[in-house]
Amino acid sequence: MKFLVLGATGMAGHMIAMYLCEQGHHVTTYSRTAFPYGNNIVGDITDRQFLQALLTTTDVDIVINCIGMLNNACEQYPAKSIFLNSYLPHAIAAHLKDHQTRLIHLSTDCVFSGKAAPYYEKSPCDGETFYDRTKGLGEIDDNKHLTFRNSIIGPALQKDGIGLFNWFMQQHGSINGYTGALWTGVTTLTLAKAIEQAAHEGLTGLYHLVNTTNISKYDLLQLLNQYFRNNTISIVPDSLVNVDKTLIKTRHDFSFVVPSYEAMIVEMKDWMLQHKNLYPHYHL
């Protein structure tokens, strides 16, 4: 299949682009800075003429939107965050209206506040921060395109990258692990595999990409400690933070099975060892 990955240098985007390339797909990538995998296109996605040309002149089956602004940046640049998080997914869908090309858009469990868990595909978005609300407005739920709603963990190409894994790999000695922070996310590698399968099966609408149980951030850090740090980090149970954004999958029209948390972490470790040149900052 032919894919266009938007935001190819990000935590999710680089993994998705590289995985699809290695599976033999024809992958075109878009990024603000050069990306050495796939047929890379560099430009300004906020330029509407560039966006239109990118979507209408690139011959692909699937557009994967990995572009987004996160919490602090949303507060600092509200206009840009509304454009990228809220407007852009709908603009992409509008540009593809008369084309066979489909969109797979990535959303987040942060569209929910954590005050009324568990959350289902049809649960009202009750996120309270500016970031939460912009991501909720950007979700696409129709019978042509697909929105995967989930949280992700994975390696970043940059040492100063974002995310729990990047933070954990820079820690030493003793850290706190929140026993009351419950999570139902996936690794970026699992997300890439699910995207490939969803593209083949023609999955549409809004889908919670999760397995059947949640895990605390404390237990998740224990898995990272075991497989990435040889249990050299002391993780202290901490009940200070209690937030539950557990997602429940109610749909049964997709054959992909999300592995256990331990299996996903093991697969991620194997991937990173096979691509050590990408991640020198993790000292694998």
pLDDT in tens, 64-96: 999 999 888 999 999 999 999 999 999 999 999
| DSSP string for the chain | -EEEEESTTSHHHHHHHHHHHHTT-EEEEEESS--SSSEEEE--TTSHHHHHHHHHHS--SEEEE-----HHHHHH-HHHHIIIIIIHHHHHHHHTTTSS-EEEEEE-GGGS-SSS-SB-TTSPP---SHHHHHHHHT---SSS-EEEE--EE---SSTT--SHHHHHTT--SEEEEEEEEEE--EEHHHHHHHHHHHHHHT--EEEE---SS-EEHHHHHHHHHHHHSTT-SEEEEEEEEEEE--B-------------HHHHHHHHHHHHHHTGGG-GGG--
First-to-last CA distance in the chain?
A: 33
How confident is the model at residue 77, as a pLDDT? 94
For residue 37, pLDDT over 90 is answered with no
pLDDT single digits (tens) 200-235: 999 999 999 999 999 999 999 999 999 999 999 999
Tell whether 283 is covered by a domain: no
How confident is the model at residue 58, as a pLDDT? 85
Q: What is the 3-state secondary structure (H, E, C) of 117-182?
A: CCECCCCCCCCCCHHHHHHHHCCCCCCCCEEEECCEECCCCCCCCCCHHHHHCCCCCEEEEEEEEE
How confident is the model at residue 176, as a pLDDT? 96
pLDDT single digits (tens) 113-142: 999 999 999 999 999 999 999 999 999 999
How confident is the model at residue 264, as a pLDDT? 98
Tell whether 45 is covered by a domain: yes
**Total domain count, the chain:** 1
pLDDT single digits (tens) 159-193: 887 899 999 999 999 999 999 999 999 999 999 99
Tell whether 231 is covered by a domain: yes
For residue 3, pLDDT over 90 is answered with yes
Tell whether 160 is covered by a domain: yes
Q: Give the Cα separation of 22 and 42 in Å (integer).
A: 22
Tell whether 264 is covered by a domain: yes
Q: What is the dihedral of CA 20, 110, 126, 259, to 10 degrees?
A: 60
Mean pLDDT of 244-254: 97
How confident is the model at residue 184, as a pLDDT? 98
Four-residue CA torsion sign, 82, 186, 153, 144 = negative
For residue 110, pLDDT over 90 is answered with yes
Mean pLDDT of 36-54: 92
Name the residue range of residue 100's domain: 2-278
Q: Give the Cα separation of 63 and 4 in Å (integer).
A: 5
Peptide bond into 118 cis (omega under 30): yes
For residue 263, pLDDT over 90 is answered with yes
CATH of residue 43's domain is 3.40.50.720
For residue 5, pLDDT over 90 is answered with yes
Tell whether 284 is covered by a domain: no
Which two structure tokens, joined as six digits, stand for 207?
A: 């889908």
| pLDDT classification of 50: cutoffs 50, 70, 90 | very high
